[in-house]
Chains A and B, each alone.
Chain A
Amino acid sequence: MSSVRFENVTCAFGSVTVLDRFSLQVHPGEFVAIVGPSGCGKTTLLNLIAGNLAPTSGSVAVDGNTRTVYQQDGLFPWRTVRENILLGLQHLSTPEERERAITEILALIGLENFGGHYPHELSGGMKQRTELARALVGRTDILLMDEPFSSLDYLTRLKLRQELSRMLAERPRTVVLVTHDIEEAAQLADRIVVLTARPTRISREAIVDLPRPRNATAPAVVATMHTILSEMGIEDSKP
C-alpha cells in the first residue's frame, strides 16, 4: 500500500517544540512536496518517516519500506557508481539479473561510461543521478527526498527533475519531497503542503491540476507557484 500517516504528532527537542499535534496523510503512489520556511521542521518530518526519530507523542504510521535520497553525500565513497547502485539491487538473486538491471539504470541516467568511477571522480549532478538510481532501482515503496537538488546549478536541477519524472513514470513510487525550491515542488508534486514557522502547522495544501511529467513553465505549475508564494507572503495575492 505504501502510505504514510501522521496523526497528532508532537515532536520536541528539549524546550523547542518542532511539531505540535501535526497530522498529514500521504496516499499510495502520491507525490507530496513539503515546503516552508527554513527551520520549520521539514527534515524532522522525513526523519520521522524514515525512523531516524521517534515522535514525542502521537503516531507515525508508515506502510512500506523507505529509502532516502540525500544531497550527494549519501553515496558510499569507497564504492564505485556500479557498486553503490548494486546496494539497491539485493532483492535480485542472480548476478545476471543484477547486471542487467544496473546496465539498464545506468543508461537511464546517462552514466553508461561511469559505472567504474568513484563518487569523488564525478560532478555533483552525476552523483545526484547515482543517488536517484540507487534509490529507485530496487523495490522501494516510499521514496524520501531531502532537498535532493539544492546543491546543483539551475540547469542541472531542471534536467534532474526531468529525469526523476521519467524514472517515476517507469517505476511509480510514493514520494515525499522536502524542498525550499517552490518551482521544483510545483513541477514535480501532485500535492504541495505549505508549512508555517514553528510550531509547525499546515498553512495550505495546493493540488497541481495537471498530470506528471510537466514543464516548469506550464501554466498550472506557474499558477501553483503563485498560490504558494502568496500563501507564504512573498508575492501579492492579486497580481
Chain B
Amino acid sequence: MGAGGLPCYSANGADSKQSSTGHPPVSSFGSRVRKCQRPMSDRPNSFNAFLLPAVTFVVLMAFWFGFTALRLAPESAFPSPQSVVRAFLGDMKDGSLPRDIVASLWRVACGFLLSMVVGIPLGLGIGLSRNARLALLPAVNFFRNLSPIAWIPFAILWFGIGDVSTVFLIFLAATFPLTVSTAAAVANIPRVHFRVARDYGITGSRLLTEVILPAILPQVITSLRVTVGLSWLVLVAAEMIAGREGLGFLVWDARNGLRMDRLVSAMIVIGLIGIVLDRLLSGLTRLPSVRWGYER
C-alpha cells in the first residue's frame, strides 16, 4: 500500500516477478504499467496553500505598480499604490477609518443577528407547518426578490440617517434568504429521522433541539455564510446614502472629495473585512457535529 492508502504498482516489481517465473517480459506495446504516484490530496500542502495566493497577489500588485508608474492614466483617475497607502495611513492616523470600521461592523452585527433571530424561526415554521408554508412562502419570496436598496428611501423616511436605517436594510437583505433556506433544510430532513425519533421517544421540544436543529445546522451554516456576504454588500450601499459614518459613507465621502486614493483604500478594507467575516463563519463548518453535512 502506498502513502494515503492507494495501492502502488511499481514497474520494477512487475518485472522482477516475471523474470523469476521465467517468462520473458511482455512487450511494452499495449501493456499498461501503473506508476506509483504521489496520491492526489484534497488538502493542498501548506507551502502551496501559502505560495499560490501570494503569487496572485504579487502579480496583481505588479500590474498596478507598472500601470501607474507608466502614467497611462492620471493619478486622479487611477491612484497609485503609494498614494493609496498614504491615504490609508492618513485615515488611520486621524482615527476616521477605525471609527468607520467599527460603525460598519456594529451595524452588520446588529442587522445580521436580528435577521437570524427572525429568519431561522420563521424558516422553521414554514418548513414544519404546511399552513405556514402556504400562508407565508409567497410573501417571503416576494421580499427576497426585492432588492433592499429599493427600501433606502423608506428607511431614511422612517428611521432617518444613521444606525437604525442601515440595520433595517441589512435585516431586509439577510432575513428572507435565511428564511427560505432554513425552510428548505427542514423540508429536506429525511423522514427516517422522525421515525427513529419516535421509536426512541424523542418528542416535543426534544424533537426540535435533538433532531430538527442538528439536522438543518450544516445547511443553515452555509446559508449564514451567504447572507453575511449579502449583508456586507448591502451595508456599503446603504451607508453611501443613509449613513454619516461607516465604510460605505467613506466611499461616498471620498468620491465627493474626488479623493480616489481614499476610495481605493476603503475598497480594499471592505474586501478584506468581507473575507474575514466569511472565514469566521466557515470556521463553524469544522464543528465535529456538522462535518457530516459537508462530506460527499
Chains A and B are bound partners: yes
Could you list which residues of chain A lie within 8 angstroms of chain B, going by C-beta atoms? Answer: 50-52, 66-68, 70, 73-74, 76-79, 87-88, 90, 118-120
User: Are A120 and B200 touching (Cβ within 8 A)?
Assistant: no
Interface string of B200-211 (1 = CB under 8 A from A): 111000000001
Q: How far is the CA of A70 from the CA of B190 in the complex (A)?
A: 12
Q: Which residue of B lies closest to A70 (CB)?
A: B192
> Is B215 interfacial (CB-CB < 8 Å)?
yes
Known contacts A70-B192, A118-B288; A88/B215 CB under 8 A: no
Interface string of B167-202 (1 = CB under 8 A from A): 000000000000000000000001011011011111
Q: Which residue of B lies closest to A144 (CB)?
A: B199
Select which of A73, A87, A88, A90 is within 8 A of B192 by beta carbon.
Answer: A73
Taking A68-B195, A78-B214, A79-B214 as given, write out 13 further A-B residue pairs in contact, using a Cβ cutoff of 8 Å, ordered by the A residue number. Answer: A51-B198, A68-B199, A70-B196, A74-B195, A76-B196, A76-B211, A76-B215, A77-B293, A78-B215, A90-B200, A119-B292, A120-B291, A120-B295
Residues of chain B lying within 8 A (CB to CB) of residue A120? 291-292, 295
Residues of chain A lying within 8 A (CB to CB) of residue B282? none
Q: How far is the CA of A119 from the CA of B227 in the complex (A)?
A: 30
Known contacts A66-B199, A67-B200, A120-B295; A76/B193 CB under 8 A: yes
> Is B118 interfacial (CB-CB < 8 Å)?
no
In residues 27-53 of chain B, which contact A (Cβ within 8 Å)? none
Interface size on B, residues (CB 8 A): 21
Q: Which residue of B lies closest to A66 (CB)?
A: B199
List 12 A–B pairs whose Cβ atoms lie within 8 Å, in order of A's numbering.
Answer: A50-B195, A66-B199, A73-B190, A76-B196, A77-B292, A78-B215, A78-B217, A90-B200, A90-B201, A120-B291, A120-B292, A120-B295
> Is B18 interfacial (CB-CB < 8 Å)?
no
Q: Which residue of A lies closest to B190 (CB)?
A: A73
Q: How far is the CB of B210 from chain A (nearest CB, A)?
A: 8
> Is B254 interfacial (CB-CB < 8 Å)?
no
Residues of chain A lying within 8 A (CB to CB) of residue B198? 51
> Is B82 interfacial (CB-CB < 8 Å)?
no
Residues of chain B lying within 8 A (CB to CB) of residue A68? 195-196, 199
Q: How far is the CB of B194 from chain A (nearest CB, A)?
A: 9
Residues of chain A lying within 8 A (CB to CB) of residue B202? 87
Q: How far is the CA of A88 from the CA of B195 in the complex (A)?
A: 14
> Is B289 interfacial (CB-CB < 8 Å)?
yes
Q: How far is the CA of A74 from the CA of B289 in the complex (A)?
A: 16
Q: How far is the CB of B163 from chain A (nearest CB, A)?
A: 37
Q: How far is the CB of B180 from chain A (nearest CB, A)?
A: 23
Q: Which residue of A lies closest to B214 (CB)?
A: A78
> Is B290 interfacial (CB-CB < 8 Å)?
yes
Q: How far is the CA of A160 from the CA of B193 in the complex (A)?
A: 23
Q: Which residue of B lies closest to A119 (CB)?
A: B292
Residues of chain B lying within 8 A (CB to CB) of residue A52? 195
Interface string of B253-270 (1 = CB under 8 A from A): 000000000000000000
User: Are B196 and A74 touching (Cβ within 8 A)?
Assistant: yes
Q: How far is the CA of A51 from the CA of B194 in the complex (A)?
A: 13
Interface string of B276-295 (1 = CB under 8 A from A): 00000000000011111101
Q: Which residue of B lies closest to A52 (CB)?
A: B195
User: Are A78 and B289 touching (Cβ within 8 A)?
Assistant: yes
Residues of chain A lying within 8 A (CB to CB) of residue B295? 120
Q: How far is the CA of A13 from the CA of B271 in the complex (A)?
A: 56
Q: How far is the CA of A88 from the CA of B196 in the complex (A)?
A: 10
Q: Which residue of B lies closest to A65 (CB)?
A: B199
Select which of A67, A73, A78 is within 8 A of B199 by beta carbon.
Answer: A67
Q: How far is the CB of A50 from chain B (nearest CB, A)?
A: 7
User: Are B211 and A74 touching (Cβ within 8 A)?
Assistant: no
Select which of A70, A73, A87 is within 8 A of B200 by beta carbon.
Answer: A87
